[in-house]
Amino acid sequence: MNTGGLTGPFGAIAFDLDGTLVDSGLDFFAIREELGFPQGIGLLEHIATLSDPAAVAHAHAVIHRFEMAGARRATWMPGAQELLLHLKAFDVPVAILTRNSREAVAATDAALGLGIELILTRDDAPPKPDPGGLALIAEQLGTAPDRMTYVGDYVDDLTAARRAGMAAGLYRNERNARFVGQADYVIRHFNELQQLWR
């Protein structure tokens, strides 16, 4: 693990959901293609630029359909479930912050049994990279942001973490090498995080 000088366990840890703890196979290219949205721009960010209420409603309906299908077929990322059980055994406070909807997260929870009580969605807080959701998580867990870390697979996760004053961890995959320089540390498997709590 490239810890970037970080030492010792954190007081609490938060995770992104899709692409980090679970693989729901969401095809953002296909979503943008169906909606006629430009590639490379966040779906929620582009929706915010639309002025036609019908277009906004249609976009949310399409995203909802994709998210719910992904939630029903979601699988754990390698080592993710084991890490969560490990953290629970050590009484480490854990949370999730995701750009998914509350309904989609509930479906993922029903499919996999996430076992995490504090989960904030785009229905609960401004979507990442806004740090508001992470600030709320730190407050609810009673942990100072500088004693927390947030782990995700995308640049928005890293940006949100750093804006919130948390250590930004990148879960490395074959598509996100370009974000390594913006992370405080990088992991390739979740068993690397287990080593912080022994």
Tell me the three-class secondary structure of 73-93, residue by residue. Answer: CCEECCCHHHHHHHHHHCCCC
Query: Could you read off the pLDDT of 98-153 as tens digits, one per residue?
Result: 999 999 999 999 999 999 999 999 999 999 999 999 999 999 999 999 999 999 99
**pLDDT for 51:** 87
**pLDDT for 7:** 53
Domains of the chain, start order: 12-23+75-194 (3.40.50.1000), 28-72 (no CATH)
pTM summary value: 0.86
Contact partners, residue 91, CB within 8 Å, separation at least 6? none
Asked if residue 79 lies in contact with residue 101, where contact means CB atoms within 8 angstroms, the answer is: no
> Which residues of the chain fall short of a pLDDT of 70?
1-8
**pLDDT for 198:** 79
- The b/e string for 173-193 (b: 16+ C-beta within 10 A; e otherwise) is eeebeebeeebbbbbeebebb
**pLDDT for 41:** 80
CA dist 175 and 150 (Å) reads 19
Cis peptide before 127 (omega within 30 of 0): no
**pLDDT for 46:** 87
Distance (Å) of CA 58 to CA 34, 37, 49, 90: 11, 12, 14, 45
Nearest in space to 28 (alpha carbons), one of 42, 17, 48? 42
SS3 172: coil
Q: Can you read off the two tokens belonging to residue 124?
A: 């609960």
Asked if residue 36 lies in contact with residue 52, where contact means CB atoms within 8 angstroms, the answer is: no
**pLDDT for 8:** 60
Asked if residue 90 lies in contact with residue 83, where contact means CB atoms within 8 angstroms, the answer is: no
The residue assigned the tokens 């909802």 is 64
